[in-house]
Amino acid sequence: MIEVVRGDITKLDVDAIVNAANESLLGGGGVDGAIHRAAGPELLAECETLGGAKTGQAKRTRGHRLPARYVVHAVGPVWRGGGHGEDDLLASCYRESLRLASDLRSIAFPAISTGVFAFPIERATRIAVREVKRFLAAGGHSLEKVVFCCFSAADEAVYRKVLAPE
């Protein structure tokens, strides 16, 4: 039910991919830029109707030219040392994204906030895995597959370690 893959999230054939967006929801660097490039200008046009989102929130759009049918745009926190609610805000991103995908069968997440936003990877991974496991166990959704899409081998190793039994 939970899978770890390494690669480009824009290539994944899943119902929804999650974007590590910023509050404007109008595109940016990293995975956000890659998703907008692959989805085409129609994605930006749809995002312009959303009015942005607060940190910890998520909003859903269509996937346009992506293989994925939908994009869930989640705004992760900028790491400011850990004492500014970063853990809770990141957990909220995962919960909101899963809630917005609860009518779908598959969703893929990038490592939200761990790039330019500098959230420590292992700490972020533990939060991501905890929230996904909790959501899946609670029921009330149609999800059959949750993918953690890692961009680097180092990130993939962290996800595999955190997901390994004990």
**What residues line the site for ligand ADP (CB under 6 A)?**
8-10, 20, 30-32, 34, 76, 110-117, 149, 151, 155
| DSSP string for 132-147 | HHHHHHH--S---EEE
Distance CA 166, CA 138 (A): 21
Helix (H) or strand (E) holding 4: strand 2-6
Q: How far is CA 136 from CA 33, 113, 132, in A?
A: 29, 22, 6
Comparison of 61 and 140: residue with beta carbon closer to ligand ADP: 61
Q: How far is the CB of 119 from ligand ADP (least distance, A)?
A: 7
How far is it, in rounded angstroms, from Cα 16 to Cα 35? 12
Report the nearest approach of ligand ADP to the CB of residue 139 (Å): 29
Shortest Å, Cβ 99 to ligand ADP:
19
**Least distance to ligand ADP from the beta carbon of 7, Å?**
7
Distance CA 41, CA 58 (A): 20
| Min CB(21)–ligand ADP separation in Å | 8
| DSSP type of residue 110 | -
Q: Of 46, 20, 24, which is closest to residue 35 (Cα–Cα)?
A: 20
